Amino acid sequence: LQDDIKAVKEEWLAKWMPKLTSNETPMNPYRVVWDMMHTVDLDNTIVTHESGSAREYMSAFWEARAPRSFIGWGKSTQLGYSLGLAMGAKLAEPDKLCINVMGDLAFSTVGLDVETAVRCNIPTMTIVINNAYMSIYDNSRFPVALEKYNVKSLSGEFSEVAQAMGAYTEKITQPSEIIPAIKRGITATEEGKTVVLEFITKDEGEYSKF
């Protein structure tokens, strides 16, 4: 049975490798998650995802090795919830790297609470997947607001906002910079700094059903 499961997983993963290892720009968010997973110490890291697309990018591919190292949550839309989860995880496990992965809309909802982490000396790492778009909802959900108010489009310099609140920040635009930026972010958390890394990505609407 183990061999059968392994074979199915390998076949499935092979289909996704072009996205997971993509060199395209704007970056593919799957590449961000993939590189992050292969950079952090999985045995000493706690991660959580945001609702919406960030959940889809992470939940199928992240390989948790330790109990309670992946804080997953279901079909819920409390945008911004992951930021508080990461802060709580860091308070509970101060010696572990605690990361939340959120989209630009989620950061727009609760991003000012990064100041709470800074003020209270909670050195979390927030990964912002910024595609300047509300990806997971199709256009049929907003037939009026989409046309009149362009409701799905987003803008903002999120790393600059976080920097103004005292966080260590970087804006990353190239795939080759993903791993170096994450490593610098890890070092910053070890120095006691709250970290926000903003990755400029494409609008990726394909999600795994595995």
Question: What pLDDT score was predicted for residue 25?
Answer: 97
Question: What pLDDT score was predicted for residue 151?
Answer: 62
Alpha helices in the chain, H assignment, sequence order: 2-20, 29-37, 53-59, 81-92, 104-110, 114-119, 145-149, 158-164, 178-190
Q: Note whether residue 107 is domain-resident.
A: yes
List the domain range (segments joined by +) for residue 169: 2-200
Query: Hey, what are 148's tokens?
Result: 């009149």
As a dihedral over the C-alpha atoms of residue 80, residue 184, residue 32, residue 129, rounded to 10 degrees, the angle is 30
Question: What pLDDT score was predicted for residue 152?
Answer: 62
Q: Note whether residue 14 is domain-resident.
A: yes
The tally of domains found in the chain comes to 1
Question: What pLDDT score was predicted for residue 79?
Answer: 84
Q: Note whether residue 206 is domain-resident.
A: no
Question: What pLDDT score was predicted for residue 156?
Answer: 85
Burial 59-95 (b: 16+ CB within 10 A, else e): bbbbeeeeeebbbeeeeeeebbbbbbbbbbbbeeeee
Question: What pLDDT score was predicted for residue 78?
Answer: 80
Q: Note whether residue 76 is domain-resident.
A: yes
**Per-block average pLDDT, block size 10, for the chain (210 residues)?**
92 96 98 98 96 90 94 79 97 98 93 98 98 70 73 81 98 98 99 98 88
Question: What pLDDT score was predicted for residue 147?
Answer: 74
Here the CATH number for the domain that contains residue 40 is: 3.40.50.970
Question: What pLDDT score was predicted for residue 113?
Answer: 97
Question: What pLDDT score was predicted for residue 75?
Answer: 67
Question: What pLDDT score was predicted for residue 143?
Answer: 76
Q: How far is CA 58 from CA 31, 113, 140, 185, in A?
A: 11, 23, 25, 19
Q: Note whether residue 209 is domain-resident.
A: no
Q: Note whether residue 207 is domain-resident.
A: no
Q: Note whether residue 72 is domain-resident.
A: yes
Q: 93, 30, 39, 36: which is closest to 66 by C-alpha?
A: 93
Question: What pLDDT score was predicted for residue 206?
Answer: 87
Q: Note whether residue 54 is domain-resident.
A: yes
